Amino acid sequence: MARLSPEDVNLGNLRPKKGSKRPKRRIGRGPGSGHGKTSGRGHKGAGARSGSKRKPGYEGGQNPIHMRMRKLRGPHRKMSMPFEQFRTSTQPVNLSDLQERFSSGDKVDPESLKKAGLATRRDPVKILARGELKKKLSVRAHAFSAKAREGIEAAGGSADVIDDGPKPYKRPSKAQREKADAS
């Protein structure tokens, strides 16, 4: 088939690319089909019977992964979710580290912390209150503990939170939706 120019393309002559569509596999239609007799189910056993289903996560009698994993209870514990990729991670930086590595009047942000060797990963930075800060610093970080914020402001500095763009969508509660509908 010759290639059509964009003007000649319309709904009447659109077709899938040659070889991209294959016919449906017809099971149980005799030995010549390649899927006759047992129809791909093997010989005997539970898997050959009608209505047989494998449980999701079934591993052939081996102890399944959800039973092999550690079980740490509690909805608000960070350790409750044992899968690392779902854990929230921040880089902790203490007030004592800021006291050691920065001089009075400096601006502290993730870039300057990286240069000072304190925040080397790409994770968000959280300032914690271990130690004491006696220098006036203007600190910008992703999060602060309440005591760390108090310590920075007591030394005459400022603690500003970095907002890294939009937050994920959170569905409004029923009361909020009713309030919005009323207005």
Would the pTM of this model clear 0.85, i.e. be above it?
Answer: no
pLDDT for the residue 75: 61
Query: Has residue 137 been placed in a domain?
Result: yes
Query: Has residue 60 been placed in a domain?
Result: no
pLDDT for the residue 107: 94
Question: Which structural domain range is residue 127 located in?
Answer: 91-161
Handedness of CA 69, 70, 75, 79 (dihedral sign): negative
Query: Has residue 147 been placed in a domain?
Result: yes
For the chain, what is the domain count? 1
Distance CA 18, CA 13 (A): 14
Element (H, E) at 44: none
Instruction: Answer whether 73's CB lies under 8 Å from 80's CB.
Output: yes
Distance CA 163, CA 143 (A): 9
Query: Has residue 53 been placed in a domain?
Result: no
pLDDT for the residue 140: 94
% residues pLDDT > 90 (the chain): 48
- Max CA pair span of the chain: 87
Query: Has residue 97 been placed in a domain?
Result: yes
User: What is the mean pLDDT of the segment spanning 102-131?
Assistant: 92
Query: Has residue 5 been placed in a domain?
Result: no
CATH number at residue 127: 3.100.10.10
Distance CA 64, CA 171 (A): 34
